[in-house]
Amino acid sequence: MPAPVLVFGYNRLDHFKNCITALKNCELAAETDLFVFIDGYKNSELSTTNNLLRGFASGITGFKSVTTKFESINKGLAASIINGVSGVIAKYEKVIVVEDDLVCTPDTLVYMNQALDFYQNNEYVYSVTAFNYPIYIPDNFHHQMYFATRSSSYFWGTWSHKWNTTDWCLENFKKLRSDKKFIAAFNRWGTDMFPMLFKQQIGVISSWAVRWNYHHFRNNACCAYPVKSKVSNHGGDGTGSNTGITRKFESEMVTGAVSFTANVHINPLIEVEYRKYFNISTLRKIINFVKFRILFVIIEKL
């Protein structure tokens, strides 16, 4: 049975429509249970677009079933995803999670279900994704999948036995925040990682994704990525609450079958490319230290 698909929306009607249209065009759509989560609006100025989105969501067809969950208050994306995924995965044991600014190829649900089946019992793979960042892949890398400790929040999937063990509170963070060895290791897939985790823990941001990343890191686990992306993120138009105007995540989408790789191996050259892609500026590092006392450790000296 195909994994259920969870779509999270808020007030971006055009993005949401494009996302649903792409999903409806997927080969397994008619066999897939769709769950739509719409968060409550923060203020009256957003009520019109939020209600329009709810109206559109109520009329969605083309799937095996459609279940809508409309919040009366604004819970925020982090709480929405943690609670939404936890509720559905308790029944289905596996899920595919999509945010409203993503579009996909028609074979994406086939790929995702195959990936979930293939990696379900792999102790090192905690999630799979249909998205790949527009990074350079080494010419001598001949696989169609690669693995990264940094998980993806774009069109991803996981299983209940890996999701349910997540430490969302990070009980030991007080010890980790000044542990230079931990900071350097956590930043190996992007120097933005530890600053995000730090800001999450002190309440400056509310992110489920960085805590999900930490869950992978803590368990020496990874996310399985396709070399050729089947998903593109069109949310960098300034309409999102967490992303400004950027085309950084608009990957070229490619259809076609993918050969899965059973042997989980981290390619060090791809790791370096991630670090380049997610590197934060020296100015931002200085601001993080002065304003929040966030330490930065030079990774190359490890």
CATH of the domain at 132: 3.90.550.10
pLDDT value, residue 64: 98
* Coil vs helix vs strand at 35: strand
Residue 246 scores a pLDDT above 70: no
d(CA 259, CA 256): 10
d(CA 59, CA 54): 9
What tokens appear for 242 in the block? 């967490």
Burial environment of residue 131 by CB neighbours within 10 A (0 to 12, 13 to 18, 19 or more): buried
d(CA 131, CA 150): 13
What tokens appear for 76 in the block? 């925020």
Q: Are residues 259 and 287 in the same domain?
A: no
Which tens digits make up the pLDDT trace of 76-123? 999 999 999 999 999 999 999 999 999 999 999 999 999 999 999 999
Q: Are residues 146 and 294 in the same domain?
A: no
Give me the half-sphere count of Cα atoms (radius 13 Å) on the Cβ side of residue 95: 25
Q: Are residues 63 and 106 in the same domain?
A: yes
Beta bridge pairs of residue 65: 33
d(CA 295, CA 286): 9
Residue 211: pLDDT band with limits 50, 70, 90: very high
The residue segments making up the domain with residue 287 are: 173-207+267-302
Question: No. of H helices and E strands in the chain?
Answer: 11, 10
Q: Are residues 10 and 63 in the same domain?
A: yes
d(CA 211, CA 89): 18
Q: Are residues 215 and 90 in the same domain?
A: yes
pLDDT value, residue 46: 83
Which tens digits make up the pLDDT trace of 279-294? 999 999 999 999 999 9
The tally of domains found in the chain comes to 2
All residues at 6 or more sequence positions from 150 whose CB lies less than 8 Å from its CB, including other chains: 189, 190, 193, 213, 216, 223, 274, 278
Beta bridge pairs of residue 103: 232
Q: Are residues 90 and 51 in the same domain?
A: yes
Q: Are residues 190 and 156 in the same domain?
A: no
Rounded to 5 degrees, what angle do the CA atoms 257, 263, 269 make? 85
